[in-house]
Amino acid sequence: MSILDSIAIQELLPHRYPFLLVDKIIEIVPRERIVGIKQVTINEYFFQGHFPEAPVMPGVLIIEALAQVGAILALREFEDRSKKIPFFSGIEKAKFRRPVVPGDTLVLEVEALRIGSKVQKMRGEAKVDGQIAAEAEIMSVIADR
């Protein structure tokens, strides 16, 4: 079940193909938690070079997917969200535990540690089949466009 589909996500986030890395949102607890889904397919642009013989989703893009899901949670708190843009400001405690490959369903779970009027801090876990693939604490700044 989808709470936000790709069209609703694009109304919140400024990201577009090929850099929109979340397909749908399946859970939201305002100001607390959000869960998104990324279906990883062999058609992803990054698999052409990472790596042609053994395709693996780059870890930095998994962290970016977590950040995009976190940005959705944060941007929903702004009435003038269409005039805002989220910028990464930090990554801490990032760990990569297993590869993400074509055919995987990446479950992106993000918990708010701090949601402020400008600065956000969240903790995210990206999972495949219940196993953590990557995790990190992510900081962002919500700025005017």
Neighbour count for residue 119 (Cβ, 10 Å): 14
- 112 phi and psi angles, rounded to 5 deg: -75, 125
Catalytic residue check, 50: yes
Q: Cite the beta strand spans of the chain per DSSP E.
A: 24-29, 33-39, 84-96, 105-115, 119-128, 131-144
Residues 24, 33, 50, 98: which is the catalytic one?
Answer: 50
Active-site residues, by number, are: 50
